[in-house]
Amino acid sequence: MIAFAGACSGSSTDEAAAPAPTVTVSTGKIISPASLTIGQAVPAPKEKPILTLTGKISTGNQKGALVLDRPTLERLGVRQVRLYEPWIKENMEFRGVLLQDLIAVAGVKSDAVKLHIVALDDYAVDFSLAEVRAGGIMVATRAGDGSTIPIDKGGPTRIVFMDGVKAGVNPDQWVWSLKTIDVV
């Protein structure tokens, strides 16, 4: 159990000054450690991209955007968590990377305030950066058994919230089949 107190991995200085609300969440067991950290260049995708970050980021790999294939995304460090899936209405296991690690690697600019997340069907929700930095939000890339997630199960990537994370109370925030994350 790790208590996340906000600015654990944030690059922005304003985060440290104003600690976000303390939440106690499970970040699960580490399946593979991070091999891609802050400040490192992110290689261009070799495989079929599964997620693209755009907007106010400083680390891009394709015309200012950060286009990620599965291996690159999973280099952020894969964890396995068990949580309650509000749509399927049962506890399920997922593997994936933490959203806060993703935006850290993407180098979110200091004037950014939120993430505008768009799904393959153009469904969109907004997460505030504070919410994201408070932790407990995962970009799931695989099911608990390690298999990739098909589109009709919400894949290839989807947002899941650890149990107890405030932002995840509303099931509408559980975006599946992510297409892009626009930092605004």
Partner 1 sequence: MRMFRRRRSEDAFATDLVPVYEARQWQKVVQAVLVLVMVSATIGVLGIVVRNSVLLGRMTAEVSDAQQRTTNLHQLQFSAIQLRLTLIELDAGGDPDAVTIRRGLLGRLATVVRLLFPASSSQARQLQEIQTELDRFPWHRLEGKGHDRTVALSAAKVLVAQVEVRVKAIYDVQEKFFYDATRESLEAKRSSENALVVLVSLVVVMAVSWLILLRRRARNRLVLAYAALLSEVSERRTLQDQLSHQAFHDALTGLPNRAMFLQELTATMRPAADPASGPSVVLVDLDGFKNVNDTLGHAAGDDLLRQIADRLRECVRAEDTVARLGGDEFAIVVPADTGHEALAVSRRLIDALMSPITVAGQEISISASIGIARLDGQDTADDLLSDADIAMYAAKKAGKDRYEVFRHDMRDQTLQRVRLEQQLGRAVANREIEVFYQPIVDLSADRVTAVEALARWRHPEDELVSPAVFIPIAEDSGLIREIGSDVLRQACVTVQQWRQTVPGSKDLSVTVNVSARQLLSGTFSGHLFDALRDSGLPPTSLTLEITESLMLEESDTVVAELARIKSLGVRLAMDDFGAGYSSIALLLRLQVDVLKIDKTFLDLDNREQGTLIRAVTELGHTLGLTVVAEGVETTEQLAHVRAAQCDAAQGFLLARPMPEAATRRHLEVAAQLLPAANT
Q: What's the order of all strands across the beta sheet hosting 66-69?
A: 66-69, 49-55, 178-183, 114-119, 124-128
Q: Is 121 exposed, middle or buried (0-12, 13-18, 19+ CB in 10 A)?
A: exposed
Q: Quick check: 23 binds partner 1 (CB under 8 A)?
A: no
Site residues for partner 1, 94-133, by CB under 8 A, read 120-121
Q: Give the binding range for partner 1 (CB under 8 A) out of 8-16, 25-33, 87-95, 108-116.
A: 87-95
Q: Quick check: 153 binds partner 1 (CB under 8 A)?
A: yes
Q: What letter does residue 154 receive in the DSSP assignment?
A: T
Task: Provide the minimum distance between the beta carbon of 119 and partner 1 in the complex, in angstroms, as a whole number.
Answer: 8
Query: Cα–Cα distances in Å, from 21 out to 1, 3, 38, 130, 131?
Result: 17, 11, 24, 9, 9
Task: Provide the minimum distance between the beta carbon of 38 and partner 1 in the complex, in angstroms, as a whole number.
Answer: 32
Q: Quick check: 91 binds partner 1 (CB under 8 A)?
A: no
Nearer to partner 1, 52 or 100 (CB): 52
Q: Quick check: 141 binds partner 1 (CB under 8 A)?
A: no
Which residues does 161 contact at the CB level (< 8 Å), separation at least 6? 83, 136, 137, 138, 167, 168, 173, 174
Q: Quick check: 155 binds partner 1 (CB under 8 A)?
A: yes
Cα separation, 105 vs 123, in Å, equals: 25
> Which residue from 52, 154, 160, 182 is in contact with partner 1, where contact means CB under 8 A?
154
Site residues for partner 1, 46-75, by CB under 8 A, read none
Residue 57 carries which side chain, given as an amino acid letter? I
Q: Quick check: 152 binds partner 1 (CB under 8 A)?
A: yes
Nearer to partner 1, 88 or 169 (CB): 88
Q: Quick check: 177 binds partner 1 (CB under 8 A)?
A: yes
Q: By CB under 8 A, name the binding residues for partner 1.
A: 87-89, 120-121, 150-155, 176-177
